[in-house]
Amino acid sequence: MKSTKTILIAATLVAVSLFVSCGDDDYITGSRSGNKGDLPEKVEGRVVNAYVTYYGKSIPDPAYFTHLFYSFAELYMDNGEYKGFKVEGNEARFEQIVNLKKSYPNLKISIAFTNNIENADNHQGGGFSALAKSDEYRKAFARDCKSFLQKWNIDGVDMDWEFPGLTWAVGGVFDLKADVANHVLLMKELRETLGKSYLLTYAGYCKGLEKSGDGSRYIDIAGVAPYVDMVNIMTYDMDEAPRHQSALKSAAAFQDCERAVKAYLDAGMPADKLVLGIPFYGRHSFSSSPMAINYSEIVKFDTRTYKIDNWDEAASVPYVTFNGQYYCGYDNEKSIAIKGEWLLGKGMKGIMYWDYDGDDSSGTLRRAVWETCMKK
């Protein structure tokens, strides 16, 4: 969700201007997290979607989100043959997260699928590109997904194939001519197999379908629209320093929230299926260290050399400077509130964030997300 996009975007950015227009304001971080008891009540039809990782250390607090996306499960393919899937890392971590439903029965939990490989007993054997080519494998995968949801008593499948028509997975494969259409067939099979009792979602790129050579890449938004309940648009990592990664509006950036959402609406995805992504980290670079810095670390920066919460009025996002130079773009309470008002005004469904563990110990960002999404 966060790192797999960086290679292609970094290459694309070579042609992008290095200019960014920024200004300062006197906005200060360090808000009160407050008691959970003073959180606004949930507004029917709105969502807060939290991605929680297999390598995370904390047990998330469901008071701050409606839907949890466990990241990740990975395919087991052997020379193009589908062998099943497993959650990444220690299954005990997944079990801990699933057990949250015992105390929060209204919480929705989905298993998110990646095209990457992390488990030591797995290898790249074709990924979703190979699986989606086969009607037999599409059906088998969909059946396995339903069995998995039933076994663990969870609520949905989130597809994070990043992306049809290209690969950012080490050793991964793709098919420019077939992936996009096969992805639609895979989503159709999942919907037909899961029925309406389970959620089907996907993590969407910040741009729409694009022609590439004699094929295409990314996702046929219109093609999958009838099958999905909502789309978590990854409106972050849309550029690197000295430009903003998650600007609401910035012509200087590779992409921004306004243009990303417009691409989905223009393609025919209903606004009430769209969820805007918010990063709980700052983006410095796609190629050099540090590439990304969690918000929990940003607020601890040494103020003798770093200045946080500089504000770009035109882009509606904050940024960090190091010795007076742009260091990273990120989101804070102010930008979240502005984005929340904007997206609700467009009839969108809510906010997603990557990822829960990036927040500070006071829960500053997750509280801000909940408050802006559930504002009446």
- CATH code, 349: 3.20.20.80
In a domain, 234, yes or no: yes
Using alpha carbons, select from 226, 217, 220 the residue that is nearest to residue 267.
Answer: 220
Q: Which residue has the tokens 């899937």?
A: 85
Under a CB-based contact definition with an 8 Å cutoff, are residues 236 and 246 in contact?
yes
Contacting residues for 334 by C-beta, under 8 A, at least 6 apart: 27, 309, 311, 318
Q: Are 43 and 376 in contact (CB under 8 A)?
A: yes
Spatial contact of 142 and 193, defined as CB atoms under 8 Å apart: yes
- The tally of domains found in the chain comes to 1
Contact predicate 43/340, CB 8 Å: no
- Scanning the structure block, which residue is given the tokens 């360090």? 30
Q: How far is the CA of 269 from the CAs of 182, 232, 286, 331, in angstroms?
A: 19, 12, 30, 26
Whole-model pTM?
0.92
Q: At what angle do helices 135-152 and 179-194 cross, to 10 degrees?
A: 40
**Polymer length of the chain:** 376
- For residue 345, what are the domain limits? 6-373
In a domain, 1, yes or no: no
* DSSP conformation letters of 97-150: HHTHHHH-TT-EEEEEEESS---TT---SSHHHHHHH-HHHHHHHHHHHHHHHH
- Establish if 335 belongs to a structural domain: yes
Please report whether residue 271 resides in a domain: yes
**What is the chain's alpha carbon radius of gyration, rounded to the nearest angstrom?**
20
**Are the CB atoms for 157 and 200 separated by under 8 Å?**
yes
Pick from 94, 106, 69, 109: nearest CA to 355: 69
Q: Tell me whether residue 328 is in a domain.
A: yes
How many CB atoms neighbour CB 77 within 10 A?
Answer: 24
| Residue 291 in domain | yes
Whether 236 is covered by a domain: the verdict is yes
Strands 317-322 and 108-114: unpaired
Which H/E stretch holds residue 93?
Answer: helix 91-98
- In a structure prediction context, what are the per-residue pLDDT tens digits for the chain, which is 376 residues long? 764 444 444 444 433 333 333 333 332 333 334 567 799 999 999 999 999 999 999 999 999 999 999 999 999 999 999 999 999 999 999 999 999 999 999 999 999 999 999 999 999 999 999 999 999 999 999 999 999 999 999 999 999 999 999 988 788 899 999 999 999 999 999 999 999 999 999 999 999 999 999 999 999 999 999 999 999 999 999 999 999 999 999 999 999 999 999 999 999 999 999 999 999 999 999 999 999 999 999 999 999 999 999 999 999 999 999 999 999 999 999 999 999 999 999 999 999 999 999 999 999 999 999 999 999 9
Burial class from Cβ neighbours inside 10 Å (0-12, 13-18, 19+) for residue 124 reads middle
In-domain check, residue 243: yes
| Other C-beta atoms lying within 10 Å of the C-beta of residue 214 | 7
Strands 67-78 and 81-87: antiparallel
